[in-house]
Structure 1
Amino acid sequence: MISDMPNNKASVYDDYDITDIIGEGTFSSVTLATHKRTKEKYAIKIIDKACINNSQRREMVDWEISILRRCNHPNIVEFYEVFESDEDICLVLEWVPNGDLFDRIVKEGVFTEEESRQTMMSIFSAVEYLHDRSLVHRDLKPENILVGSGGVKLADFGLSKYYEEAVGMESACGTPAYSAPEINNNQVYRKGVDMWSCGCILYFILFGKPPFYDNDEQKIYDLVSQGRWTFPKNSSEVSDDVKDMIRGLLEHDPSKRFTVKTAMAHRWITQTDSSPMPSPFIQSTPTSSTQTTPRAITLSNNGSSVKLRISNSSAPIPIKKQSLLRSSLNSSIEAFRGPLTPPFSSLEEGS
């Protein structure tokens, strides 16, 4: 049962056995825990209050709790209760055992087009749920999408916000490689920023890298601000329909960009295929019919290099430093704060 208020009387350790740290960031850690009575497994996000010692950061945490409490959708991570002590705030969340979408691509290779379609259907469904309730996520990216046994689940609502369509929002927030140009250009923006992020995610799971990538963070800002991107050389292997979907999502003009309802009605989503396809969520090794000749791309960062396989193969991905790859695909801000802490947000937050 979900608690309406923080549980200030009991400690989270009274009800849960915390066993493993499954992720760490600058401000928080995510742990695996087992409920002592029911023996059910949960994920507990432990936020160090010493690190959220200003009103803006505390407000972000309160917003995340408030929004998660109100969300009830199969493709949004479920929130159960919150404990607060003098030292920390503990959010008890649904445990999704297969990690995030970024790690799934890094470890197993890019998705087939059909697997990508299944993934985006789940993401679009969750985004539609949010947008219908005047909610914007504002930090959609592979690291904030968890891979469940039956589909993906949106997580990390620290920057999510209720908004008025007539007013819009102005705060600079998000992760540069996935943020819409109107955010980078300091313009008033609306829920279309989530659709831009969806386009970046679709590009990433198909091609193994985001459409806007550079070692120089300022260069990423410039590329996004100008909307400068191209399909990679191997894009001839995907259909014209999925390319049209990506173009619609990465439309520089937000008034012309696909809405979530337009995307869900697009022919790439609504097409039917009678042949059975392997699920990207249940089995990690593709069937022989979907295996392809291994290919790789190499990304460099400050003189070091990492290699990411971009084919469907059961062989492990040759990676020197997975954390380096994760940061190079996002920004130096990500490298500094870690993937599980509140994303970059301007100090003028208030919209």
Structure 2
Amino acid sequence: MEQYQILKEIGSGSYGVVWGAWDEHSDEVFAIKKLKKRCNSVKEYINLTEVKALRKMNHPNIIKLKEIIKEDDSLYLVFEYMECSLCERMTCRKKPFSEDEIRDLCFQIFQGLAYMHDNGYFHRDLKPENLLVSKDVLKIVDLGLAREINGKPATDNIGSRWYSAPEVLLGQEYDSSVDMWAIGAIMAKLFTRHPLFPGKHDGDQMYKICSVIGSPTETTLSMVNSNYQFPQHPGVQLSSLLPSASLEALDLIATLLSWNPSVRPTTMEALEHPFFYPCYC
């Protein structure tokens, strides 16, 4: 760590803290993440899911891990530096994103996520705070909660509540389709700069979901959780909440926000949706 001069704290959470730091050797600025987790050996550090995933992946829309530094019993991950989070950019803008801008941002998210899923991991905590941007480039970050797709089925309720799929809130087994739900909620927020499901707690979160997309039907209940007493709501037209969104955008968001996880598109299916046709011209 001697070559790095800490400039400022740029983030913190249950994982630890992130600093902006200047590398005196290369005269570049990097982001250094100090993990809160303590390990007894280098092998334990290398086997952390976040470290394994980042070492395996190399994609322009996933944050690049430059090096791993172990000092005493602490681990530091050195990343390329990005200007700000997507959340910060939304907050600082004086006007909403145009649909072309939203299309470009979401196209990059899906490309990065498709690579991640193809390499055997799903993120589990996608939200605007975990998407960093520099100029027109977007990168997925913070794989601290990532899981292996072919590993033990996940059931724990983690991640940001506003972007959590119903099956996560209900404590059921879930898979990589939870990432697709999260992108649907992120995409909706890009149109309005306001969260679509701003629940105050898990029960309120489910109420917010039902009030927007409608309560699950009897058919869907068999695939969700028949023991849970869902709030009864018919839902609303997404077009009334996202008046500036095109029909193609509304269709993609509605499909991503499906009660049934198997109905949600895969990353590659999403990239082939008509909403993204202009990206291939």
Decide: shared fold, TM above 0.5. yes
- How far apart, CA to CA, are the structure 2 residues paired with 1:62 and 1:225? 36
Q: Corresponding residue for 1:8?
A: none
Give the secondary structure class of the aligned counterpart of 1:271. Answer: helix
Letter in 1 for 2:85: D
Q: Does 1:245 align with 2:252?
A: yes
Residue 232 (structure 2) aligns with:
none
Stretch of structure 1 that moved more, 58-67 or 147-156:
58-67
- AA matched with 1:84: K
| 1:153 counterpart letter in structure 2 | K
Matches within 5 A, 1:1-351: 12=1, 14-25=2-13, 27-49=15-37, 62-86=48-72, 88-97=74-83, 99-108=84-93, 109-164=95-150, 168-224=153-209, 228=214, 230=236, 231=238, 233=240, 235-271=242-278
Report the CA distance between 1:173 and its aligned residue.
1.9
> What letter corresponds to residue 17 of structure 1 in structure 2?
Q
| Higher RCO by CA contacts (8 Å cutoff, separation 6 or greater) | 1
Kindly state the Cα deviation for residue 107 of structure 1 after the two structures are TM-superposed: 0.8
Percent same amino acid at aligned positions? 31
Q: Give me the CA root mean square deviation.
A: 2.7
Q: Please report the TM-score for the alignment, with normalisation by the length of structure 1.
A: 0.66
Moved more, 178-187 or 58-67: 58-67
Distance across 2 between alignment mates of 1:209 and 1:183: 22
In structure 1, the residue matched to 2:220 is none
1:27/1:253 CA distance change after superposition, 3 Å: closer
Specify whether residues 100 and 153 from structure 1 end up closer, same or farther in structure 2 by C-alpha distance, changes over 3 A only. Answer: same
**8 Å CA contact retained: 1:242, 1:268:** yes
Q: How far does residue 214 in structure 1 lie from its aligned partner after superposition?
A: 3.5
Taking a change above 3 Å as real, the CA distance of residues 20 and 273 of structure 1, as seen in their structure-2 partners, is same
Task: Report the alpha carbon displacement of residue 234 of structure 1 after superposing the two structures with TM.
Answer: 5.4
The two structures have a TM-score, normalised by structure 2, of 0.82
Letter in 1 for 2:274: R
What whole-Å deviation, never above 9, does each CA across 1:280-336 have from its counterpart, x for those lacking one?
xxxxxxxxxxxxxxxxxxxxxxxxxxxxxxxxxxxxxxxxxxxxxxxxxxxxxxxxx
1:236, distance to aligned residue in structure 2 (A): 2.7
CA distance in 1, matches of 2:129, 2:47: 18
Superposition deviation, residue 235 in structure 1: 2.4
Q: Deviations over 1:58-105 (max 9, x none)?
A: 8899221121111100000100112222363211111012x1001110
C-alpha separation in 1, matches of 2:123 and 2:154 = 12
